[in-house]
Amino acid sequence: MKVTLMKLNYLKGLLAILLVLLAGCGGSKTPKNAQGQLIGVSPRPKYYPPVPIGMVYVPSGTFHMGPSDEDVNYAFTARNKSISISGFYMDATEITNNEYRQFVEWVKDSIAHILLGHVKNVDGTDFIDWKQKINWKDPAVVEQLDAIIFAPEDRLYGRKEIDIRKLKYHAETFNFDKAKLLENKDKSRSNFIERKDVAIYPDTLCWIRDFSYAYNEPMTRMYFWHPAFDNYPVVGVTWHQANAFCEWRSRFWEDYRRSKNLFTEDKFQLPSEAQWEYAARGGREQAPYPWGGLYIRNKKGCLMANFKPGRGNYPDDGGFYTVRADAYFPNDYGLYNMAGNVAEWTQDIYYQNAYSFTSDMNPYLRMDIPDNAPPKMKRKVIRGGSWKDIGHFLQNGTRAYEYQDSAKSYVGFRCTIAFLSRSKNDFGTKR
Residue of higher predicted confidence among 78 and 30: 78
Least confident piece of the model among 59-73, 232-246, 335-349? 59-73
Confidence (pLDDT) at 377? 93
Q: Tell me: the pLDDT tens digits for 180-238? A: 888 888 899 898 899 999 999 999 999 999 999 999 999 999 999 999 999 999 999 99
pLDDT tens string 82-105: 999 999 999 999 999 999 999 999
Q: What is the pLDDT of residue 46?
A: 76
CATH number of 57-96+200-426: 3.90.1580.10
Confidence check: pLDDT of 80 > 70: yes
Whether residue 402 has pLDDT greater than 70: yes
Residues 6+ apart with CB under 8 A from 226: none
| Percent above pLDDT 90 for the chain | 54
pLDDT at 25: 43
Q: 425 pLDDT exceeds 60?
A: no
Banded pLDDT at 430 (limits 50, 70, 90): very low
pLDDT reported for residue 208: 95
| Entry pTM | 0.87
Is the per-residue pLDDT at 11 higher than 90?
A: no
Residue 73 in this model has a pLDDT that exceeds 90? no
Pick 298 or 103 by higher pLDDT.
103
Confidence tier at 373 by pLDDT (50, 70, 90): very high
Do 385 and 343 contact (CB within 8 A), yes or no?
A: yes
Average pLDDT, integer, range 10-26? 47
**Averaged pLDDT, 36-43:** 76
Average pLDDT over residues 301-319: 91
Question: Which residues make up the CATH 3.90.1580.10 domain(s) of the chain?
Answer: 57-96+200-426
Q: How high is the pLDDT of residue 157?
A: 92
